[in-house]
Amino acid sequence: MPATEPASPPAAPGSAAPAAPPAGHEGGSSAAILRVLRITLHVGFAVLLAVAAARLLLAGDPHPLRPALMGGAALLAAAYLAGTILEKRFSASGQGFDPRRYGLPWLATVTVLWAVLLAGSADFSWLAFPLFFLHLHLLPRRAALVGIAVMTAAVIGAQWAAGGLPVPHAAVVLGPALGAAFSVVTGLAYRALYLEAESQRRAADELRRTRAELSAAQHNTGVLAERTRLAREIHDTLAQGLSSIVLMARAAEKSLQDGDTTTARDRLRVVQDTAAGNLAEARSFVRGLSAPQLRDASLVDSLRRLCAATEAAVAARGKVLRCRFELDGVPVELPPPHAVALLRAVQASLANVTAHAQASAAVVTLAFLGNEVTLDVYDDGIGFDPAAQVAEVRPEADGRGFGLGSLAARVAALHGTLELQSAPGEGTVVAIRLPLPGPGTP
């Protein structure tokens, strides 16, 4: 195919057929029209060649070159049919050689054979019209128009010579000229339709590719969100519980070594309770349910129990931590995501208090203030530099350091705010503020 062609030619003998246009009304209509025009082109060529051969055979006065002309007609039919079959096979299965490489040689062969037949008999004149379409399909527009003009002049010359008149009749000139003009207009319209179908096909391919990429991105986002959820739940429940179990088990072991079986028994009971609670938590978040503490009690009761359990766990390790819960305002029923987020925030905060703060007192304050709920967790421990802590919230290689980022993600997902107020030697306050959905808001 010529390099000057702006796009692949429409399906024609000797050229690759275009890919199927996109599904849908417009794409299906374009494909149907192109298919009908293609079939009409091939059938028209076959009918005109058969009519010319029949006239040559049935002529009352046998043509002196009839055997040679019949052989040439058969050769032309074979060349045209071979190009059509090879192009059809390649467009359907993609196998065999690419016919686009042989489009121009095939067109030249068919045109030369037609010219030879036209020189022998004017009956082959009308084969020029389907050849006009092939030239428009396979050649650049300017070259195709020049070729059509030459072929039209050849048809007029053959008709004039067959008439034997000194001056050609007007019909001999106007017929081929008007036929050529009609062929050019129709061929250009055909090409415009083909280019539109190709544009629709490319747009559909781009749409399918974009949809596939969007689907993959959504899948990856969902996988990442689920991984984040599991990591957050594991940190706020299992990791904290296992850490408590390890510390309590060590304390129980020391009590046994000291011969204090009563204290060891109490500490092992705390280990059992903690393990049972973590097992319930694990089963709960695997099923995507709310915290098990909230299924049997309100958030207020759950936080009060959590403070008592924390105080008891610290006492079982031989240390002292007064953990108190305070309620401000009239409690209202919170949406499950809000209740779970606040419960996890207190669990994580108290775990940090018992593990790092070296505090003697902690206060958990839950306040209902109209259209928002606030939570403050205060401890009188050693404190820290919040600027340094907030600047680096990525977890360490061993999994520690995940708590602040996890807590911030929970609060941000509910459009709330999280503030850390602390200083070395002055204790810590974790302050959370969550807006409550209005009436009718899920």
Contact 8, 18 (CB under 8 A): yes
Compute CA distances 34 → 17, 225, 395, whole Å: 10, 48, 62
Q: Given a cut of 50, is residue 2 above it in pLDDT?
A: no
Render pLDDT for 143-182 as a digit per residue (tens, 0 to 9).
Answer: 888 988 998 888 888 888 877 777 777 777 888 888 888 8
Give tens-digit pLDDT for 273-307.
Answer: 878 877 777 776 666 555 666 667 889 999 999 99
CA atoms within 13 A on the CB side of 380: 9
Amino acid identity of residue 191, one-letter, is R
Specify the 3-state DSSP secondary structure of 320: coil
- At residue 417, the pLDDT reads 93
Of 328 and 315, more confident: 328
pLDDT on residue 397: 45
Cβ atoms 364, 348 nearer than 8 A: no
So what's the pLDDT on residue 389? 57
The 10s digit of each residue's pLDDT in 185-202 is 877 887 777 778 778 888
Over residues 103-119, mean pLDDT: 88
Q: Considering the entire predicted model, what is its pTM?
A: 0.44
pLDDT digits (tens, 9 = 90+) for 222-281: 777 767 766 766 766 677 777 778 877 888 888 888 888 888 888 888 888 878 877 777
